[in-house]
Amino acid sequence: MSVLEMMNPATAEKLGEVREATKEDVQTAMAEAREAFSSWRNVPLKERLRFMKRLRETIVEQADDLADQIAKDTGKVKLEALMSDIFPTVATIKYYEGKAASILKTRRVRTPVTLIGRRSRVEYRPMGVVAVISPWNYPFQLSVIPAVSALITGNTVLYKPSEISPLTGKVIEDLFSSLAMPKGVFRVLHGGKETGRHLVESGPDKIFFTGSAATGKKIMAAAAERLIPVELELGGKDPMLVFADADLDRAAYGAIWGAFTNAGQTCMAVERLYVESTVYADFVKKVKEKAEKLRLDQPDENDIGSMTSPQQMEIVNNHLEDAVEKGARVLCGGRRLNGKTLHFEPTVLIDVDHSMKIMRDETFGPVLPIMPFSSEEEAVRLANETPYGLNASVWSRDMAKANRVAARIDSGNVCINDVMIGIANPHLPYGGNKESGMGRYHGPEGLLTFVHPTSVISHPGKKRRELNWFPYNRDQYEAIGSLIRLLYGGRPARGLKGLPKVAKEFFRSE
């Protein structure tokens, strides 16, 4: 039996252990989830939503304790656990409690005259068993929100938490157990990559994956073998564009929060900051001053928490070394805090360019590289010069310019004079372009991603034969040809007048 150790990365305190699910455990869980699906899909939406309401209320009641556990599991500041893990989760559940019925309501659609006599509708049917595979950086919201969305839509869920934040996986397991949903509807499979692979190979009906682009590609390849639909929420290298006419103080505060919250381990972190050259020096000074004031070593009032994994810190160091070797200058920070395990000082870098890893690859740590630009055109080009497309921000008092630039950035989410905040609005869809992933969740899209929109067309069934059925004859050919000309040709249609006799008779018989 193999176990995962739970440990606080900020203090190295051991927090317990959890048993990893084996291949057999995954297969048994899959069989139970399939069995449960056959009844869960028929549980009325209102009842499924009642479970989610109970979940939301339990999360709110236990918010302080949950924030504490998430902070211990990841090393993040407790306020960030409350603000960025718990807050968006309960906000999204509440949003779906109000909106799910209208989003998932069967939709009647028009039936064209050529299909006379029939009625058409779209039904939103659940897909089956959904695998939710999550990362460690916001381990609560990135697990609970997709799981809840899949459950609301009538799917059952097998959830694999990250092996780097197993305590949060355990916390989520306990939360869902307290709801007493029917057996097999929601199940946690603790473990690492191996468990994740078993889960993918067990043949779920949909995979919802959040994690790195490298893993996303592997999962998509494995899913392709079985043609399993995937939603991939992957990494980013998000640009922030500051124009000279922006409120520079606001932009500087936004930059340091966007780059350093969660110790920079945010998929939508500001990882590249571009500033119009006329205000570059002034702006860099503001950012440096603000970054230097951030607190890392206060017992209860830290701004920056610890990083979560030593491997991630290695990547940060590697990117910094590469940048400095190629001529970048560290204005502040640049090293691990003395005597602490995984605390890394907020770091501001200048003299960077796109040959450096720090401007190309996802760093996922508290590093903010800043580069000047001299025209709107150049700003857009630099912003888009990345394989990623998750989030971006544009800062200017000229709203026409800000909107114009925002429209030209190839990314799934854009903020104007703000940073990362789109995900906090549950009405907005969320997801990435290019190597930042595919698919959207949150908003109405967050439920629609877990259903098959199923078309149903029905006829009263009282007519002997249809115009398009066998046996074929010349009249049919003429009738269909005239219909095409009448309905879709250049001249406006003249009712049934221009149709050959056979077609007129057909329509009149309805």
Residues that bind ligand NAD (CB under 6 A): 133-138, 142, 160, 162-163, 192-193, 196-197, 200, 210-212, 215, 218-219, 233-236, 267, 362, 364, 390, 432, 437
Q: Residue 245 to residues 250, 397, 402: CA-CA distances in angstroms?
A: 12, 6, 10
Q: Is the Cβ–Cβ distance between 406 and 416 less than 8 Å?
A: yes
Active-site hit among 80, 267, 362, 435: 267
Kindly state the smallest distance separating residue 407's Cβ from ligand NAD, in Å: 22
CB of 192 vs ligand NAD, minimal distance in Å: 5
Nearer CB in complex with ligand NAD: 196/444: 196
Q: Label residues 195-207 b or e (16+ Cβ within 10 Å = b).
A: bbbbbbbbbbbbb
Helices marked H in 393-499? 399-407, 445-448, 474-488
By beta carbon distance, the residue nearest ligand NAD is: 196
Pick the closer one to ligand NAD by CB: 86 or 142: 142
**176 — phi, psi (to 5°)?**
-70, -35
Q: Catalytic residue, from 80, 233, 362, 435: name it.
A: 233
φ, ψ for residue 441 (rounded to 5)? -135, -175
Pick between residue 135 and residue 258 the one whose CB is nearest to ligand NAD.
135
- Is residue 162 a contact partner of residue 172, using CB atoms and an 8 Å limit? no
CB of 186 to ligand NAD, least distance (A): 17
Instruction: Using only the alpha carbons of the chain, give its radius of gyration.
Output: 27
- The answer to whether 332 is a known catalytic residue is no
Q: For ligand NAD, which is the closer residue by CB, 162 or 347? A: 162
211/333 with CB nearer ligand NAD: 211
Q: How far is the CB of 447 from ligand NAD (least distance, A)?
A: 17
Please, what is the minimum distance in Å from the beta carbon of residue 160 to ligand NAD? 6
Secondary structure (DSSP) of 5-40: EEE-TTT--EEEEEEPP-HHHHHHHHHHHHHHHHHH
For the record, the structure tokens of 182 come out as 């029917």
Instruction: Compute the least distance from the CB of residue 4 to ligand NAD, in Å.
Output: 10
Convert 276-322 into a string of H (helix), E (strand) and C (coil): EHHHHHHHHHHHHHHHHCCCCCCCCCCCCCCCCCHHHHHHHHHHHHH
What element of type H or E holds 360? helix 357-360
Our answer to whether residue 173 is catalytic in this structure is no
Q: Is 322 left (phi over 0), alpha (psi -120 to 50) or beta?
A: alpha
If the CB atoms of residues 210 and 306 are measured against ligand NAD, the closer one turns out to be: 210
Could you give the residue numbers annotated as active site?
233, 267
